Amino acid sequence: MVDVSKAQDGGIIKKILTEGAGDTPSTGNEVSVHYTGRLLDGSVFDSSKDRDQLFKFKVGTGQVIKGWDEGIVTMKRGEVAILTCKPEYAYGASGSPPKIPPNSTLEFEVEMHDFYGEDCTESSDGGVLKSTTVAGTGLSNPREGATVKISWVMSHMDRELEKRSAEFILGDGAAHDIVPGIETALLKMKKGETAKVTVKSLYAYGNVGNAELAVPGAADLTYLLTLESFEQAKYKYEMDGAEKIKFAEQVKQWYQRRVREYQTFQHYFKQINLSLVPIPLTSYYGQPRCLL
């Protein structure tokens, strides 16, 4: 048995019943578990197995009791463990009437089924999954139009293919050879955060790949991405006259570049005899917010 509480105060004691394999979840990952909760006298107060339905939640985000947020992140896929949580890591002095009395120490037998990164896509299609490895600071995320400074290491099948940094306006990544998946993930990151980002080929280099970087076609890529800093774009009410004119010109140039890039993209796929269904520019490149 081992104390897995961050404070190492004996608040969460873990006993492994069945060893798991592989890595463990990160803060923000969605996990799927089966569990049975018991009081110390052995009486069951809740069980997902009785409902025959996996329990899913985002770990480390306060959706569950503190004992789970800190204990579940130590579990591997396939692992079965008992987490014994003191009251301050469970339901505290109030308990959870009528089944859990005040100041109760609880035992949870938990079976880790699966976990995956936070889905950053608007369509929730799993194309960009983010797992935080180093937490960021502050409460805000960069919004489109923010100036961001980032660095990353990109790999494919555990082979490192690219290591670089960039500073650019979020929403204009294509002009800096930055794949759409990176920009999608940045919208969900905090300043100073480092995350493992899994990018499906649709949000990376597609079926064509990138010969210069040795990325094959239809390749899913992994990025270790750090948002070093960002400066938000100003809203309309924050801009003076000169800033509004400058921003309007930037938006105009942005759309002109997008049109040229889309025309090149469409022409290339016609050349290789692929059936290309026209898509709005905004669905491929993201939609800028005109603040004027």
- Across the range 58-76, mean pLDDT stands at 95
Binned at pLDDT 50, 70 and 90, residue 241 comes out as: confident
Taking only the tens place, the pLDDT of each residue in 121-169 is 999 999 999 999 898 999 999 999 999 999 999 999 999 999 999 999 9
> What pairing do the DSSP bridges indicate for beta strands 12-18 and 80-85?
antiparallel
Q: What is the pLDDT of residue 281?
A: 44
Known catalytic residue at 269: no
- Across the range 107-117, mean pLDDT stands at 96
Q: In this predicted structure, which of 49-58, 156-165, 248-257, 265-274 has the lowest mean pLDDT?
A: 265-274
Taking only the tens place, the pLDDT of each residue in 197-240 is 999 999 999 999 999 999 999 999 999 999 999 999 877 667 77
* Choice between 289 and 112, residue whose per-residue pLDDT is larger: 112
Known catalytic residue at 65: yes
Known catalytic residue at 46: yes
Note the residue count of the chain: 292
Q: Taking 90 as the threshold, does the pLDDT of residue 254 lie above it?
A: no
Known catalytic residue at 3: no
Binned at pLDDT 50, 70 and 90, residue 244 comes out as: confident
Question: Exactly one of 35, 205, 223, 247 is catalytic; which is it?
Answer: 35
Binned at pLDDT 50, 70 and 90, residue 276 comes out as: very low
* Choice between 153 and 291, residue whose per-residue pLDDT is larger: 153
Tokens linked to 141 = 């995320």
Q: What is the pLDDT of residue 266?
A: 64
Closest CA to 65 of 33, 36, 44, 87: 87
Find out whether 170 and 183 touch, Cβ atoms under 8 Å: yes
- Across the range 90-118, mean pLDDT stands at 96
Question: Exactly one of 12, 13, 55, 65 is catalytic; which is it?
Answer: 65
Q: In this predicted structure, which of 174-183, 206-215, 280-289 has the lowest mean pLDDT?
A: 280-289
> What pairing do the DSSP bridges indicate for beta strands 159-169 and 128-134?
unpaired
Q: What is the pLDDT of residue 264?
A: 64
* Choice between 255 and 265, residue whose per-residue pLDDT is larger: 255
Question: Exactly one of 3, 16, 46, 220 is catalytic; which is it?
Answer: 46
Question: Exactly one of 55, 91, 115, 285 is catalytic; which is it?
Answer: 91
Known catalytic residue at 35: yes
Q: What is the pLDDT of residue 283?
A: 43
Q: What is the pLDDT of residue 206?
A: 96
Question: Exactly one of 13, 69, 72, 108 is catalytic; which is it?
Answer: 108
Backbone angles phi, psi at 236, to 5 degrees: -55, -45
Quote the pTM value: 0.67
Whole-number Å distance between alpha carbons of 144 and 289:
7
Known catalytic residue at 45: yes
